[in-house]
Structure 1
Amino acid sequence: MRELADVAKASVGSVYRVMQFLEDQGLAQRLPDRRFLVSDWAALLRRWSDDYQLLRSNAVSHWIAPRGLSDLLDTVREEEDVDYALTGSVAAAAWAAYAPARSAMVYVRNVERAAANWGLRATEAGANVLLIEPTYPVVMERAMTALEGLTVARPAQVAVDLMTGPGRAPAEANELIEWMRAHEQSWRG
């Protein structure tokens, strides 16, 4: 439990309650050596998405990248003053491109700094960028580099974010999960 709590950056008590819940739900099994086995990680991700919903669990603001997503991603690659992690369609393209992304979802620690540095404009409608201040900082702390130097959330996080995302996002989640099944050794660890 302590090792899991350290990795999750959570209290041992919280981890114990979560693992007990997962056992009760049939999503985790305690082994004789006190470790846990999750045999169906896709079911675990789906259960996670029932409680954690990207657009409801975090502070989300709507923006327009006036020169489009490609220009935005080039700007983000060159920017060193903003702590971020891409998620959603753009991030999923690192592993399982479904269709050209129409919007970018980006976890950031400071929305105002990111928007100013990336040349974004606030909007109430027609956004092509969602800036998300994460409720749980682990989303960014465990991010990785992909897509020619961009920082992206881990595949499991991206899949869960897509499961509850707008439009075609749930279909993209299914595509990413299929990629994850076929390439399990490359993303787990």
Structure 2
Amino acid sequence: MEREGLLFRDEAGSLNLGSWRQLVQEWGKDYGFVRSNRITSYIEPRGLPALLQKVAAAGDLEYAVTGSLAASEWAAYAPARAAQIYVADAAKAAQRWGLRPAESGSNVLLAEPEAGFVFDRSRTNRDGIVVVAPAQAAVDLLTGPGRNPSEAEELMDWMERNELSWRQ
């Protein structure tokens, strides 16, 4: 990472982050929501608002919303068409939330991550929904289809303008 200019050493020898935006972009080359996690597709027939009400009442389920829904917490771009949610146990979450399995036409993607870092620095929003950290949402959008990369750029623009609020 030092050779790529993502990290640098100060005079005391401590490592420091160069450009967090460049780091997120490089991270997206190695990691992707769909390619780096076990994904299952579902339908919430009553739409995303109904799903979010169920998610907020999830209780003991480990989850974190990402993608467009998470990004809208900081930089709304366009209405979300689908939910992307990290879960520790997709089958348990799908059952609890009353989701229907779907091979096509899904509006909910549940991702079981190989490592728990996706839950690091997550936060609960004012509606009681756990969302991933802004950097995680950005990389998930960068590697997504359609308008997702544009949403990632909008989110990262917000992150630049509000760096002190999310890097604490």
Separation in structure 2 between the aligned mates of residue 52 and residue 147 of structure 1, nearest angstrom = 29
Separation in structure 2 between the aligned mates of residue 28 and residue 164 of structure 1, nearest angstrom = 23
Q: CA deviation at 1:138?
A: 1.6
Separation in structure 2 between the aligned mates of residue 124 and residue 150 of structure 1, nearest angstrom = 26
Paired letter, 1:103: A
Asked if 1:124 corresponds to 2:103, the answer is yes
Equivalent position of 2:112 in the other structure: 133
User: Alignment length, in residue pairs?
Assistant: 168
Separation in structure 1 between the aligned mates of residue 58 and residue 32 of structure 2, nearest angstrom = 28
**Counterpart contact for 1:84–1:151, Cα < 8 Å:** yes
The answer to which structure has the higher helix fraction is 1
Equivalent position of 1:148 in the other structure: 127
**Counterpart contact for 1:94–1:147, Cα < 8 Å:** no
Q: Which moved more, 1:137-146 or 1:61-70?
A: 137-146
Equivalent position of 1:49 in the other structure: 28
Bigger radius of gyration among the two = 1
Equivalent position of 1:83 in the other structure: 62
Deviations 1:129-151 (A, max 9, x none): 00000112021143111252110
**Counterpart contact for 2:120–2:133, Cα < 8 Å:** no
Separation in structure 1 between the aligned mates of residue 125 and residue 10 of structure 2, nearest angstrom = 35
Report runs of 4+ in structure 1 exceeding 2 Å deviation.
none
TM-score, normalisation: structure 1: 0.86
What SS does the aligned partner of 2:115 have? coil
Q: Which moved more, 1:132-141 or 1:122-131?
A: 132-141
Equivalent position of 1:163 in the other structure: 142
What SS does the aligned partner of 1:166 have? coil
Q: CA deviation at 1:58?
A: 0.6
Percent identity over paired residues: 48
Separation in structure 1 between the aligned mates of residue 163 and residue 148 of structure 2, nearest angstrom = 21
Aligned-residue Cα RMSD (Å) equals 1.0
Separation in structure 1 between the aligned mates of residue 35 and residue 125 of structure 2, nearest angstrom = 26
Equivalent position of 1:110 in the other structure: 89
Paired letter, 1:78: A
Separation in structure 2 between the aligned mates of residue 152 and residue 95 of structure 1, nearest angstrom = 11
Where in structure 1 are there 5+ consecutive unaligned residues? Answer: 1-21
TM-score, normalisation: structure 2: 0.97
